A and B are shown apart, each in its own frame.
Chain A
Amino acid sequence: KAGVTQTPRYLIKTRGQQVTLSCSPISGHRSVSWYQQTPGQGLQFLFEYFSETQRNKGNFPGRFSGRQFSNSRSEMNVSTLELGDSALYLCASSDTMGVGETQYFGPGTRLLVL
């Protein structure tokens, strides 16, 4: 099976702009989670979608949003970008996120905000 794919891989934006990142999970996986990775804060959970519904949400401002489509593909959007949003954004998929289930990570989208 193909792994988790994320597009684009690299992105440069300026403050105030908005950005949309895309994630295609492993075929058959219905849960998609998003994480932000920075050198200072490490990996922090943004949100998780399962069957098109947001099931869990981390402690990020409302500028961060996401959605999931019927084919399980997911997008996350960041509006009004700030310099501090520069990070590696990781997407992970799993079947149901049940007990003991593994999340499989994609390569990430590296976002630089200037």
Chain B
Amino acid sequence: DIQMTQSPSAMSASVGDRVTITCRASRGISGYLAWFQQKPGQVPKRLIYAASSLESGVPSRFSGRGSGTQFTLTISSLQPEDVATYYCLQHNDYPWTFGQGTKVEIK
């Protein structure tokens, strides 16, 4: 199985801060990576697909980068509504695997 190591597991930042979350794959997955946002009590929502493509309707402060084994999700200016847990998902190989999640809070 491909292991997805996500970091940090939790973080606290101020409104307006730049936030970066990293996912590292145990072997190359090309660009077969997505990022999901899950707010408390809600269904996961896809933010980014194909590593760097922004889902329609998602604010432009979210961006994704990477290829191969190293990927990042960046929130350029953290907003209160961004409080959530964020997950990466690799779908290059079966079984699909998620990162462990990053819980983002406001300081």
Q: Do A and B bind? A: no
Measuring CB to CB, which residues of chain A are less than 8 angstroms from any residue of chain B? Answer: none
Measuring CB to CB, which residues of chain B are less than 8 angstroms from any residue of chain A? Answer: none
